[in-house]
A and B are shown apart, each in its own frame.
Chain A
Amino acid sequence: MLSSMLKRIARHGLTLIATALLGGLLATALVRLAPGFDVDEQQLDPHLNSESVQALRQKRLDQHNVFRFYFQSLRRAARGDLGTSLSLGQPVSALLRERAPLTLRLVAIGLLLSWAVAMAMAMSAAWLRVSAYDALTTVISGTFLCIPAAVLALLSVLWNVPGALAVALIVFPRVYRYARNLLAKAYSLPHIITARAKGLSELRILFWHVVPVAGPQLLAVAGVSVSIAVGATIPVEALCGLAGVGQLAWQAALARDLPLLMNITILVTLVTLLANSGADVVGHLLRGQEA
């Protein structure tokens, strides 16, 4: 049991590192191949003399070979140096350290709120089994599902509500849809119908019979919801003027800031993969305990 768990964790760890490194390489290659990559408007500055322009050109030349640039960056990253942002002129590690807490807070509060609302709605729909209520919850979540994430971000600015609420409103309909289907499926299982017929309390049915059935799948949804929340921070931070990693990613993409974009891609890939792998390992643990 323990060795299989360790093997699973090791496999996840290796996949995670390989995918994050490939993601970084992909972002580097994309930016390098983009039209206009070689153009640096600083070179047109009339205040710079020919030596400074030459130095700027030399700096760009170092980034010409994608693989060389990427592996040199990784070597530096191993020593804790993530490079310097081309557009903001600051060390990438400092930028990430400065902005990560806000994004983490947005993602954490957004996830907490979205899960609380989605689970409350899904559970009440599964308990009540009133078609009108079920239709109402489906309409509410469906409406939010049909509104672009960026519009929800704009509306949060308009109504002066916190960005975390916008993140929650983007994530909640997706979580609700899966949770409702999983709970409805679990509640229609023969042993749960029997438990109900025998007069067991709803709470006992929920925690003793429904959660063990739907739990591992809900954990998988939890892993995916982290990725959705991280993605939601981009429009929310960009449009609400919140200085987080989402806004930084947005600025890096617009400015074609290679070192910054590469590091953010690796970071985002790591976070989403960690969430999914964590959910998978915990789900495996739970299934192991049941067995």
Chain B
Amino acid sequence: MAQEPHASANRWKRFSDWDERPLRLDRFAAEDPANGFAAFTSPNDPKPSVAGGAGGISAMDGRAAADFDMIDTFIARYHLDHEVMDEAMALPSIEVARMLVDMTVPRTELVRLARGMTPAKLAEVVAHLSALEIAFAYSKMRARKTPGNQAHVTNAKDDPLQLAADAATAVAFGFDEIETTMRVARNAWSNAVACAVGAAVGRWGVLFQCSSEEAEELQIGMAGFTSYAETVSVYGTEKSFVDGDDTPWSKAFLAAAYASRGIKMRCTSGAGSELLMGYHEARSMLYLEARCLCLQRAMGVQGTQNGGIDGAPVTCTVPGGMRELMAENLIAVWLDLECASGNDARPTESEIRVGAKILPFLIAGSDLICSGFGSILKYDNSFNASLLNGEEMEDYLVLQRDFEADGGLTPVEETRVLELRKRAVDAISAVLEELQLASPTAAMKASVVAASGSDETQSFTPREVALVSDAIKARNIGVLDVIKALASRGFGQEAQHLLNLVRLRVSGDYLQTSAMIRNGRVMSAINDPNDYQGPGTGYRLSKARRDEIVAIRDVLTREEVLRAEAVHKAAESRRIRYRTVGPAGEGGAANEVVIGISPAFGDKLFQTVAGHSLSALLKALTDGISSNGGTSRIVRMRHTADTSFLGLSAARLAGSGVGIGIQAKGTAVIHQRDRLPHNNLELFSNSPITTLDHYRRMGANAASYAKGDMPEPVVVPTRGEAMGARYHAKVSLIYAIETEMTAEGATPEDIEISFLEERA
């Protein structure tokens, strides 16, 4: 080696570590307003302005009516309310921003003012708010009081059996809407029937959509299989709109067409779409999105799927991108639109960014927090992976519990899920057979019921599905045919559920803003309006709902700990016997090490947190002590359960002045007579990763200290495990058993132990 290592270093290796983290797969973009990479403001954004005239609006956001593009024209004609326009536009934006976060200013007043504001004004107001303020304003301004959530239900094979099983699963977990789409476009009809049947298993009322080509989607809706649509996209620049193959008028016409067929509808828009489509006009993402949202209110749609959506990943590449996504959602609800608030297309490979992205929406609530949540595995998501997916659903359930926040989902027991999946697969199989569309085998069905994802199924191929789908379409099979098929094959409950949902169409009740169905009732912004006006108002978890949310699986209880110890006790009684000799005296041989055991050690508790039996632990310690020429004496302490005091008390009794303190959970210390309680010789605090070999070496070191030597301390290596998360609940329950057995001033007692031959 010619050079010293430090002289040749050209990199701090931490950067190499960082290079390996998933975050570095995310690619970030420089802020560049001229090229559309600006979240909140661009020099090319217009200043808010409006001028009325005899024939309507004569100028808006710096543009004269003669120069209006189609979007301007539509907004000026249908969105701007002349009665509030002058009042609203005259208010200083900072003042309006303060009103948004002022709990004493009612939502209704702000909604009234928004009707008189131009896109540039709305954008300018929300740009004054921090991320926290946006989240707070969002929770105040969203239209419906009760939050909800939407699931994606798709799979890589378009397999109807799996779609039905996964739809039923999503329904069980509490989603209010499910959305499907296909790998192969012609499979739309098969997907629609499969999800409609699956969603009728267990309970009814989950709205369902099948995202497909516009005309086909409407036809599927008219056949009665779907109840809503949301992929009616709008854009913030005219050229993007035209490349999207629509105009505000064509989309508004389509919106009315859906309503005329009794189908709920929302539009879709989101930051970044104009950037991706190449026509951003050098405007900020927020300003373009404000145009989209004003346009949607103008078109008369009840709601929007908004918050980046397919543009979320590119939006998250720029500074403030995630804050922008929140800001556009705020404009949506301020404009009194239902908001299915994005949190879908996965904008990052970093799980930390995922968690950070979802949190404001989880605690603020939203009409549909995700639009949607990938209820299936990532590779099965035909929309592409979502922010949250089947893999991470339990993380989300725990976040709900952590923050006592209603994210719209409910934990479900394993056995229940299995029952529902089986029922759903049987139901769709019956329909396929009854309508002579296909005959799934028992093996196909069984593979789907158990499968986490389509890699594990032996079911239909996409081609076989295409034949089914073509037949459904060609034979004009409608929802009534499916209802009849279900009923005639013994699925009367599912038939009734499906009919209940379709029947709601007649009243049109679920066409109103933010409508969903809970417990057989339509709930919307009309009969469940958000009435937030400060603490104690707005949406609050009921006791019943809280009970549902906290009931995640596999939680530890004191009873469970005691049950486990009872099992260990039986095993330990065959390995070791403890005999109380009498009060422990001071002093003894100069090589004597006292092992001070805790009150419940071998009495109520029998195993360390690492899973070592206490007999094996004592064997390791005493073997270690004798290996270095020491003798050991066991003393049970009852005056304390604390490791340091166990150790110090033991040391003071020992002839050598060196003692070991050990708790039943495995935490141990080597102590010396003249030291302060918390100034020990060696501490073994990470009992979950302490091995029997560590305990043996600990005994050896104690004997070494007894001789006056200074051994190499035993280091129990940690790899940074979250010990507290893994073990502290159990440790606390175990330690409480120890402390309950302490008695003030109790005298230490000598214990004689004998290791027994273990008999089978």
Q: Is A bound to B?
A: no
Interface residues of A (CB under 8 A from B): none
